[in-house]
């Protein structure tokens, strides 16, 4: 069975399952994000180990899960409770950094600066960024936005951007996008993927959230079109530096969780920031 066939088969099962999960219940969706994020974080730490670093996986995973539980509590809280939980999140984040540094002193490992830095960076890059999906699914229910529909739109936009870029690049790609990081990606593919992302986001906004001003669809589509590929390239760069093809082999034809969510690691937090800015400005 070829890699492309595996990708298609996984997509035929995974895409409907993901959409059903998003629309089912915000708490169930968040409960699934937590173990996926934990696996992705462990994949990141494995990449770090290939560079002779020894991140503190136990502290990193415990801190990651604790922060995500607070994110989960925030998404189901009232406004007053939410403000208090945000204080807890801040305290937990600071505590995690201090705990990581303290724990490192009791480990008989070299490169303490590298180990602690990568332990903390992994949680910020993987845990915090993916946790934004929990925030979007649960809390964006004002201004005509619907959390479930917006989350589905983001996934669809990222999937379309990735697929359209691949097939456009395969058909007409000639000019390399970033050969030092990913030799196969082309400018033609990136432009084709970006156009497809914007179009599908506009289409889904029109269908699922017709009361939302179209400017938001265009901006969010543009975020996916520009920063989705950057997220993909960033993870490819980390893998190239670690001299590995995939972060793991947990998903047939796709590699690891980190491989599958690399674009979303950039898209989800940036869309969250955009929505916070426009709602705060009202």
Residue 267 has pLDDT above 60, yes or no: yes
Q: Supply the pLDDT for residue 103.
A: 95
Q: How confident is the model at residue 141 (pLDDT cuts 50, 70, 90)?
A: low
Give backbone dihedrals phi and psi of 183, rounded to 5 degrees, phi first. Answer: -60, -25
Cβ atoms of residues 37 and 126 within 8 Å: yes
More confident residue, 83 or 156: 156
Cβ atoms of residues 47 and 244 within 8 Å: yes
- The secondary element (H helix, E strand) that includes residue 183 is strand 182-186
Of the listed ranges 114-128, 227-241, 246-260, the least confidently predicted one is 246-260
**Half-sphere exposure (Cβ direction) of 270: Cα atoms closer than 13 Å:** 18
Residue 144 has pLDDT above 80, yes or no: no
Cβ atoms of residues 185 and 177 within 8 Å: yes
The mean per-residue pLDDT over the stretch 204-231 comes to 96
Cβ atoms of residues 166 and 189 within 8 Å: yes
| Structure token digits, residue 280 | 């705060």
Percent of the chain with pLDDT over 70: 92
Q: Supply the pLDDT for residue 282.
A: 46
Contacts for 79 with CB less than 8 Å, ≥ 6 apart? none
Residue 79 has pLDDT above 80, yes or no: no
Residue 139 has pLDDT above 80, yes or no: no
**Maximum mean pLDDT: which of 179-188, 224-233, 246-255:** 224-233
Cβ atoms of residues 42 and 15 within 8 Å: no
**H helical segments located in the chain:** 3-24, 26-49, 57-75, 79-105, 112-122, 129-139, 147-172, 187-208, 214-242, 257-260, 264-280
- pLDDT tens-digit series, residues 177-216: 888 888 889 999 999 999 999 999 999 999 999 999 999 9
Burial of 233 (0-12, 13-18, 19+ CB in 10 A): buried
Q: How remote is the C-alpha of 211 from its chain's centroid?
A: 27
Cα–Cα distance for residue pair 270/125, rounded to 1 Å? 13
Cβ atoms of residues 256 and 250 within 8 Å: yes
- pLDDT tens-digit series, residues 161-175: 999 999 999 999 888
Q: Supply the pLDDT for residue 80.
A: 65
Q: Which of 165, 125, 150 is nearest to 23 (CA)?
A: 150
- pLDDT tens-digit series, residues 56-66: 999 999 999 99
Residue 23 has pLDDT above 80, yes or no: yes
Q: Supply the pLDDT for residue 251.
A: 76
The mean per-residue pLDDT over the stretch 63-84 comes to 83
More confident residue, 213 or 77: 213
């Amino acid at each position: 069975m070829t890699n492309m066939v595996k990708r298609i088969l996984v997509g035929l099962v995974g895409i409907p399952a993901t959409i059903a999960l998003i629309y089912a219940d915000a708490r169930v969706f968040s409960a699934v994000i937590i173990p996926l994020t934990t696996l992705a974080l462990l994949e990141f730490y494995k990449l770090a180990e290939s560079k002779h670093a020894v991140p503190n996986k136990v502290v990193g995973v415990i801190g990651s899960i604790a922060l995500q539980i607070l994110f989960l509590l925030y998404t189901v809280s009232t406004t007053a409770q939410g403000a208090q939980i945000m204080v807890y999140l801040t305290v937990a984040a600071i505590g995690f950094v201090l705990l990581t540094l303290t724990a490192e002193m009791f480990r008989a490992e070299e490169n303490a600066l590298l180990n602690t830095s990568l332990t903390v960076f992994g949680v910020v890059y993987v845990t915090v960024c993916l946790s934004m999906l929990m925030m979007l699914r649960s809390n964006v229910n004002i201004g005509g936005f619907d959390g479930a529909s917006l989350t589905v739109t983001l996934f669809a936009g990222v999937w379309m951007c990735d697929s359209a870029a691949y097939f456009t690049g395969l058909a007409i790609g000639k000019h390399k996008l970033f050969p030092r990081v990913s030799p196969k990606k082309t400018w033609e593919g990136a432009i084709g993927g970006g156009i497809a992302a914007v179009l599908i986001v506009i289409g889904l906004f029109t269908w699922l959230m017709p009361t939302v001003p179209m400017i938001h669809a265009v901006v969010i589509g543009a975020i996916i079109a520009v920063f989705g590929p950057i997220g993909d390239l960033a993870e490819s760069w980390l893998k190239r530096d670690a001299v590995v093809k995939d972060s793991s082999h947990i998903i047939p034809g796709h590699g690891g969780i980190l491989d599958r969510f690399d674009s979303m690691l950039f898209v989800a937090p940036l869309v969250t920031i955009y929505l916070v800015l426009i709602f705060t400005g009202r």
